[in-house]
Structure 1
Amino acid sequence: MDGSVPQQRMLLRRFSVAQLTSTIERSHARLCAVLVLLSLVCFLPGFVSLQPMDRDEPRYAQASKQMLETGDFVDIRFQDEARHKKPVGIYWMQSASVAIGQALGVPEARTTVALYRIPSLLGALATVLLAYWAALAFFGRRGAFLTAALMATCVILMVEARLAKTDAMLAACSVAVMGGLARAYLSRGAGVLPRRALLIFWTGFALGVLIKGPLILMFAGLAAAVLSYKERSARWLLTLRPWLGIAFTLAVVLPWFVAIAIKSGGAFFAASVGQDMLGKVGTAQKYHWAPPGFYLVSFFATFWPGAILAAIAVPFAWIHRREEPVAFALAWIVPSWIVFEIVPTKLPHYTLPLLPAVAIVTVMAISRHFVGPHRPAAKPASVLIPFIPVGLTIGLSAVGWSFDGALPYRALPVLVASSLLALWAWWLFLKNRMVPSLWASFISAACLSVGVFGFAQLDLRSLKLSDRLAEVARNVPCENPQVASLGYREPSLVFLTGTGLDMIDSGVQASDFLRKGGCRVVFVEKRHEGEFRAQNERFGQQPVLSARIQGFNINSGRRLEIAAYATGF
């Protein structure tokens, strides 16, 4: 009798969990609500407090800010430099977000980077929900939910949701397009696609072109070409109503492309196609070269916590490659992945639009009991499940101690919780309890987001050089100072201090800048201070040392000491 009580409690607990799961799965709306909650827990911590992350994020944000300052929503500029690399879509979205923030009374809206990040947050949420919609072409509700949850909790989407760039929104557009393409391929016998699928497909395609040019065409075009070759026919593509869709796309994108061609005299296309896109193919731009295989290695970090499960699922994809759902997922992944590996310029987020297909194949393999500890080498490989949270807990503690002389105490309890949950997920995997292991991983990822972005980054003040320098400029005892910087040239400083920030090249120029009179502040990196002081002595000039800031510049990989000198008060 006594021994039956624990069994009854266990049965009751299992019944309650099963009942709760069954209740949620009765409705797409309920499942999507859970996905949104999970996504917000993963995406929102640190969304406001994280500093502008050099170099790409503040370049996008500053260009959008300048659109609001000038009222020119055709040309894209960073200070006086034309930014003819990407189309205008994301800049319009960011400008609209900031304009709404201003209208609602957000203080200092134009230098509040969180407002510029809202399109990325919406893009990341849309990526998760569209991954659910796309996966419904392959699974029932549970499989689609697990696919979308793998996207919501993967590291690279958590990062991109917080950065005012193109990549989260591009991922959303890509999933919309590929979800529509999947329906066209997998239901090609039906002959007609629902209007909703057509609208999602062509809206994603048009916005994708307006956000990042031809990449969306590459994802869809390569997949369609591979599948048409497999079928020995491309007639299935007619269900997408291509002529009507192309007309819709041109109506959306052509006005701006014509306007920028006229305004720039064709310079936009020369820069975006000739320099940016072909430059990535021919040479590794911006020192982002990496050898082929880079994305396969980085995948185990970018797609955590699902990466090791996806790796175990690779033989499944090969064995079942002739099945239509698997064939479509492989056509989505493989051709574009090969292109990214061949191109010399490599950044971890480039493969983000391909990851929903990886999640689909992974869930397929799990649902057929292919993934588990019984697979060859799965047990030793599964040590990667807790590797990311444990590694980040140790790594961030080491960085905090090295740079700021303190541990990230606020973050440690949550990071330890994330590590313990990941270890539990590992144990569940070894017990071949795959779905509970996934859930433990999802909760671990949510805790990791809170620990890293919500708390740890707050304590790493050495990495917030631009924030601290901008604070110095705001606190000088005179109004509207003119600001210059010598040696430290990060775009985040332009965004935070103002479009008029003067980037100067020598101590002589820095001294001359202060001589022009009025309220002025100049930031001088230590290696230039000797020349700066010598020139001041020649002029008989004695600027006030307002502050001395020490920190670490991630982009240059150097510790910096920057002095702030001011005049005019």
Structure 2
Amino acid sequence: MTETFARPRFGMPPEPKNRINPGQRLVGVIDYVAASHARAVAFLALCGLLFTLSGFFTIPPIDRDEARFAQATKQMVESGDFVDIRFQGEVRYKKPVGIYWLQASVVEAASALGLPRAEVRIWLYRVPSMLGAIGAVLMTYWTALAFVTRRGAVLAGLILCSSILLGVEARLAKTDAVLLLTVIAAMGAMARVYLAWQRGEDSARGSWTTPAIFWTALAGGILLKGPLILMFVGLTIVTLAICDRSLVWLWRLRPLWGALWMLALVLPWFIAIFQRAGESFFADSVGGDMLSKITSAKESHGAPPGVYFLLFWVTFWPGAPLAAMAAPAVWRARREPGAQYLLAWLLPSWIVFELVMTKLPHYVLPLYPAIAILLVGAFERRVLSRGWLTRGAAWWFAIPAAVLTIAVVGAVWLTRQPAFLAWPFVAVSMIFGLLAWRLYDDIRSEHAMLNAVVSSLFLSVAVYGIVVPSLTPLFPSVEIARALRNVVCVGPKAAAAGYQEPSLVFMTGTSTLLTDGSGAADFLGQGSCRFALVEARTERAFAARAEAIGLRYDVATRIDGYNFSQGRAISVAIFRSEGTQ
């Protein structure tokens, strides 16, 4: 039987005597934590926290997807209706209910514990994403144990943990980090069954634990994002069937009982939403959201094939340079069972994503664990490329240097401040990136990779913890909500014209009216303690209507900012009525 890919054929070569480099202590840490599963799990969980906590509490709501998800959850909590999904008065049937239930449970728990104004604290809605990201790192470790040594599994978890794309998704109150967790769990369970069959192990000795993980993960993925998880699993199965000309191993997943268990978990809500909304949910989620993205670019997110390949070198940093160096060895090992399984997980779905018209960076995130494990497999065998691809090690230094430039220029442009507080962290990130670059060779590749991971950690602190929260002009909704909280009347109501981002509704209240300039003037004249939030481009229509109805008003304050969703500067005046003539 062919040996499973990535089992090392020989141990790691010893370091030359009397040769000390900055990666040796980091390697010592890996030696220590890889000595037991408990240490490995605790270490990766701690790393997950370190990589996600910076900026987690301080970055305001991000438009538009995060704010839409959070507002829909907020309305569930306010109404007590945990079946229907709405954004203000409109149904929001693009995704199933899973993420809303998770977010609502966190908000409800925080409220029960006495946290004031829990419903407008965006970080509470991000908790499921953070836990999903940490769980995905741990599940990558668990999955990798089927392919590599425990030490390699720790490294695979670290590589995913430090990736830029996971860091972004862990801080957004959306589905993708939690979906990643379910995909890895399903693929890891299926990998164990497949590799056991390849090794000729008796299926009678198999337990129900692995099938239970597989089918429960499928149910969770369906409740989070519909049938997308079935695409990852289905394409992998089809590819393996073509390669092996057999699917007999699938029976080890107990498909009959497993499918019944999965349906028992997902059908209750689907039946409830069908009774509530009829066929409109399936038309909006499957037809309007998923299938339409294949043939057309939704919300201006169209791009040609190859974009994900280009984005990979940034979004998978710092693992990307080593992925390039490992690619030749991985391809040579493609017929080995382990490599074959991981490539079946990776390549078909990647090709599909490259071909669909609508493209967003996070779509390929569930494929990154397969890359991390493949990378570590080549890593352990010491078969990384020694040719021109090794020049890619310079990328470990180039990314922090580029981020420093972009952060300083962006901060000066938006706030007239160069974000000095972030400079020391970016400088340390650049130093570790430089060390990773200069240390890299076949013997010290692990030292280099660990230095790159530390570089990524300091970079995340600088960007998410310092730079992004300081860019206050990018988050005008926060300033508008703060201004409304400071008014002297009780229960202020607002209407917005011109600036109508979901974050504004989340911050100012579900009852905020989204209208035009004329509608804002009419709203303002209908009672006391009302405010019109009018963007400069709609002020003329507001003033004309106010004059027509005899409305007297004054400007409570004016807030300038930048609407990055539309890519333009804005100026929002907060008008308050003084009555009518």
TM-score interval, smaller chain: over 0.9
1:3 is matched with none
Corresponding residue for 2:206?
193
Structure 1 runs not aligned, ≥5 long: 1-6
Q: How does 1:451-490 map to 2 (within 5 A)?
A: 451-490=462-501
Q: Which residue of 2 aligns with 1:567?
A: 577
Distance 1:526 1:215, change over 3 A: same
Matched, 1:530 2:548: no
CA deviations over 1:18-74 (Å, ceiling 9, x no partner): 765443222111011111111111101111111111100011111111111111111
Classify the secondary structure of the residue corresponding to 1:543: strand
Q: Encode CA deviations 1:245-286: one digit per residue, 9 max, x unaligned.
A: 101101100011111111101110111111111111121111
Aligned residue for 1:4?
Answer: none
User: Do structure 1's residue 403 and structure 2's residue 410 form an aligned pair?
Assistant: no
- Equivalent residue for 1:168? 177
Which gives a bigger RCO, structure 1 or 2 (Cα 8 Å, sep 6+)? 2
Residue in structure 2 matched with residue 376 of structure 1 by the alignment: 388
State TM-score, norm by structure 1: 0.95
* Correspondence for 1:30 among 35, 39, 44: 39
The percentage of counterpart residues that share the same residue type is 44
- Give the aligned length: 560
Cα deviation, residue 389, structure 1: 1.6
Structure 2 residue 98 is matched with structure 1 residue 89: yes
Alignment partner, residue 548 of structure 1: 558
Distance of 2:138 and 2:470 partners within structure 1 = 33
| Partner residue in 2 for 1:362 | 375
> Would the alpha carbon gap of residues 414 and 253 (structure 1) be closer, same or farther in structure 2, given more than 3 Å must change?
same
Is residue 2:131 matched to residue 1:122?
yes
The one-letter code sitting in structure 2 at the alignment partner of 1:173 is T
Cα offsets for 1:462-519 (capped at 9, x unmatched) = 11111111111111221111111110110010111111110112x2222111110110
8 A contact 2:415–2:471 mirrored in 1: yes
Is contact 1:155-1:303 (8 Å) kept?
yes
Q: Does 1:308 align with 2:321?
A: yes
Letter in 2 for 1:520: R
Aligned counterpart in structure 2 of residue 137 of structure 1, from 135, 138, 146: 146
Partner letter of residue 194 of structure 2? Answer: Y
Q: Which moved more, 1:116-125 or 1:195-204?
A: 195-204
**1:288 alignment partner, one of 290, 298, 301:** 301
Task: Tell me whether 1:250 sits opposite 2:260 in the alignment.
Answer: no
The answer (yes or no) to whether the contact 1:520–1:568 under 8 Å persists in 2 is no
Q: Please tell me whether the aligned partners of residues 517 and 568 of structure 1 are also in contact (alpha carbons under 8 angstroms).
A: no
CA distance in 2, matches of 1:133, 1:158: 20
Letter aligned with residue 130 of structure 2? L
Deviations 1:137-159 (Å, cap 9, x if unpaired)?
00111110000100110001111
Could you report, residue by residue, the CA deviation over 1:438-481 in whole angstroms, capped at 9, with x for unpaired residues?
A: 11111111111111111111221111111111111111221111
Matched, 1:109 2:118: yes
Q: Aligned to 2:551, what secondary structure does the other structure show? A: coil
Runs of 4+ aligned structure 1 residues displaced above 4 Å come to: 7-21
| 1:60 is the counterpart of 2:69 | yes
Q: Which residue of 1 aligns with 2:507?
A: 496
1:17–1:450: structure 2 CA closer, same or farther, 3 Å change rule?
Answer: closer
Higher alpha-carbon deviation: 164-173 or 464-473: 464-473
Q: CA-to-partner distance for each residue in 1:320-362, whole Å, 9 max, x for gaps?
A: 1111111111000000001111110000000000000000111
Report the Cα distance in structure 2 between the residues aligned to 1:357 and 1:375, rounded to whole angstroms.
Answer: 24
**What SS does structure 2 have at the residue aligned with 1:85?**
coil
Letter in 2 for 1:232: R
Rounded Cα–Cα distance in structure 1 between residues aligned with 2:241 and 2:401: 45
Tell whether 2:527 aligns with 1:514. no
1:532 offset after TM fit, Å?
A: 1.9
* Residues 1:184 and 2:178 are matched in the alignment: no
SS of alignment partner, residue 115 of structure 2 = coil
> Is the CA contact (8 Å cut-off) linking 2:26 and 2:450 kept in structure 1?
no
Q: Given the alignment of the two structures, is residue 236 of structure 1 paired with residue 245 of structure 2, yes or no?
A: no
In structure 2, runs of 5+ residues without a counterpart are 1-15
- The counterpart of 1:422, out of the listed 400, 408, 433, is 433
Alpha carbons of structure 1 residues 110 and 23: separation in structure 2 relative to 1, 3 Å: same
- The one of 75, 78, 84 equivalent to 2:87 is 78
Quick one: distance in 1 between partners of 2:424 and 2:20?
Answer: 32
Question: Are positions 1:268 and 2:277 aligned together?
Answer: no
Offset at 1:119?
0.7
Q: Distance in 1 between matches of 2:451 and 2:27?
A: 16
SS of the residue 1:142 aligns to: helix
Question: In structure 2, how many angstroms separate the alpha carbons of the residues matched to 1:525 and 1:497?
Answer: 16
Amino acid at match of 1:25: A
* C-alpha contact (below 8 Å) 2:384/2:442 kept by paired residues: no
For 1:83, the aligned partner's letter is R
Cα distance change on mapping 1:165 and 1:400 into 2, 3 Å: same
Say whether residues 1:51 and 2:65 are aligned partners: no
* Matched AA of 1:341: E
In the TM superposition, residue 431 of structure 1 has moved relative to its aligned partner by 7.5
TM-score, normalising length: structure 2: 0.93
Contact 1:183/1:193 (<8 A) preserved: no
Q: What is the alpha-carbon distance in structure 2 between the residues aligned to residue 364 and residue 393 of structure 1? A: 33
Q: Deviations over 1:149-200 (max 9, x none)?
A: 0011000111101111000000000000000111111111221434332232
SS at match of 1:411: helix
CA distance in 1, matches of 2:220, 2:548: 57
